[in-house]
Amino acid sequence: MKDFIPEIYTVIVADGAFPAHEIPLYYLKNAKRIICCDGSTESLVLAGMEPEAIVGDMDSINEELANRYADRIFRDESQETNDLTKVVMWCHEMGYDDIVILGATGKREDHTLGNISLLMDYVGYMNVIMVTDTGIIMPFLKSTSINSFPGQQVSIFSIDLETEVTSHGLKYPLNHTKITNWWCATLNESLGESFSLEFKGRLLVYLKFSSSSPAS
């Protein structure tokens, strides 16, 4: 599950539920650098780690931490986008374009849906995945082959109306299937070590962790 991103990568910690599963924690502990949304700083510090940078409008960080990390705070008070995008754009400007996003789900559903949908914006200019306590979410702009394992649960979501998808290596084949709503291509299953998707449009693919893993 660790081959979707290069060996050297940056972790962004958003202000959702802090990761507990071994796989997101692996990404966190082995990152080249950790960048926090302002509201996630306390959770990271409580977990025994420190951010290289903190980005945001600083309305969600307590005074003690703001003072402690004053040398690495980058204030962005723009109201044109959300906190996660502020951090992503800062990373892009710094040349950090291999990104693993953690902590982007698990609290408010509106934030969760918004953060997931934003992957389709980010993938236009960086290599990015989102890792939760149950699986990995990946954005794609063109047909692709995805590493997997037999029996892995797979769900596919289209951002564009009526995207046609053809699959190879899934239990329930898609054959020029139009994905007209979010549920239409969910709850599928990989048959082997990989599967492929042919499409024109924008897809999000969710891969569930093995059921033998904690918190899966």
Average pLDDT, the chain: 92
Q: Which pLDDT does position 214 carry in this prediction?
A: 44
One of 2.60.120.320, 2.40.170.20, 3.30.540.10, 2.40.10.10 is the CATH number of 140-208, namely 2.60.120.320
CA geometry: angle 82, 139, 30, nearest 5 deg:
80
Give mean pLDDT, residues 153-166.
Answer: 93
Does the pLDDT at position 216 exceed 50? no
pLDDT digits (tens, 9 = 90+) for 62-104: 999 999 999 999 998 777 788 899 999 999 999 999 999 999 9
Q: Return the domain boundaries, the chain.
A: 10-133, 140-208
Query: Sign of dihedral through CA atoms 24, 29, 32, 38?
Result: positive
